[in-house]
Amino acid sequence: MLDILSVTSECVPLIKTGGLADVAGALPKALGTLGHRMRTLLPAYPGLVAKLTDTRVVWSDPDLFGGPAQVIFGTVASEASGGEGTGATEILLLQAPHLFDRAGGPYLDLDGVDFADNPERFAALSWVGAQIAMHGTSDGWRPRLVHCHDWQAALVPSYLKFAGHGHIPTILTIHNMAFQGLAPADRTEALRLPWHEFHADSFEYFGQISALKAGLKHAWKLTTVSPTYAGELMRPEFGMGMDGIIRDRSTDMVGILNGIDLDLWNPQTCDTPYGLRTLKKKANARRALAARFGIHAHDAPLAIVVSRLSHQKGLDLLAECLPEFIEQGGAVAVLGTGDKALEQAFRDLGNRYPGRVGVEIDYDEELSHLMFAGGDAVLIPSRFEPCGLTQLYGLRFGTLPLVAATGGLADTVIDANPAALAMGVATGFTFHPTEPIALSFALERLLMLFAQPDLWTQMQRNAMKQPVGWDTSAAAYIALYESLTSEAAP
């Protein structure tokens, strides 16, 4: 059995702003079913300690980046049982009120602005992760390997290296290269980083500190969340200034697809009035979805959008292309928040096409389950997408994904091209390049195939058979963990 420390800024079911939380919450469960133990370290944002059971203090420091701190061990029950994993997830909450006990979200204040001390807040998280890796916790637990997620945990390998403990295996997983943890150079000492390491081969990045670059340089292995995205990161248009480092470390980069929690995203027990044991039941969920959004389009494909409304997600392209889709017979239900201009663009579409477009500017996990249960297709026109979970939810529920051919979207959706249709293996629609004309053509193909019920039903059945859980991915992580711990063994 391997003991593994996961360091992350968010984790389901405690705190979530995006797909990182889903992955950080699902991976320990999947590893547990294969006989390994992962404890997850994350900040004690307001209210999280109360969600744990069997709590005890296992680490403390009177001065962690400006104030007292302690780590509280506890367990949190899974949101669903059965399927891939059961039992409680082991959590380590970093309780540091001066850093994390404040209004707002994990990263932004109530006005949607980054907390000014985010570099210190997440350096503290990384520092504690390194301390636990070096010395263990007071209850006798000590990991053999540290798995770090994104820039918020990316300083763990650096702190270990600078403390003379670079022999402890570390993995950094890049969930999204767009966020790099930048800070001014004059905060080097405040972040407990040595000035002699402020250079291009360490954490210096165009005159600033980059936590992500530090991790890319110092972690034993790098992973990202799909094979295609691993390759894309070596190209300037996706690498966002870090592509040279990724190319230099290409032999240390592994692309491992994310999975989804098959318990939480179970068509037969989802949080809707209707299970999907058969596709006939999907028609019931579809009626409930249409009623919820005020859509009257019984014979048209009802597409859904469940997304952060942003340029990255290609939602500006979708807003441009949807009028043609709607006027040709389609209908759309939209759930999401984000860029204010995009929120207004979708509201305007709802006002322009009443009964064909329904829009809710909100984040609503329960409603998203109904949308996947009842939707005919899910639209994901992302300009880049490291892995994406939305298309996996769509496959699981027979809600056919229409996706840009990038990152994990390209790795998980089989396009309904003539060859795939002839072989009976298509599971959705892909398009390239990520431009309006290509997206419009994909939407036209969706309309054409929806008008052929036998083909559409076959694609739904194909989609629902796709392996979208964690079995294969967890096995790949374990193989990587075992290779690193074997290499580290004396």
- What SS3 state is found at 170? strand
Say if residues 246 and 239 touch (Cβ distance below 8 Å): yes
* DSSP element (H, E) containing 215: helix 211-218
Nearest CA-CA partner of 432 in 371, 385, 479, 480: 385
16 is in an annotated binding site: yes
Cα separation, 429 vs 77, whole angstroms: 37
Which token pair is 250? 């290409």
Q: Pairing state of beta strands 208-210 and 182-184?
A: antiparallel
Residues found in the chain: 490
Compute, in degrees rounded to 10, the torsion defined by CA atoms 272, 340, 408, 325. Answer: 70
| C-alpha 155 chain-centroid distance | 20
Task: At 27, give phi and psi (nearest 5°).
Answer: -60, -45
| C-alpha 388 chain-centroid distance | 7
Which token pair is 285? 């969920």
Q: Residue 170 burial by CB count (10 A; 0-12/13-18/19+): exposed, middle or buried?
A: buried
Cα separation, 484 vs 162, whole angstroms: 20
Say if residues 318 and 310 touch (Cβ distance below 8 Å): no
User: Binding-site residues for ADP-alpha-D-glucose, please?
Assistant: 16
User: Binding-site residues, please?
Assistant: 16
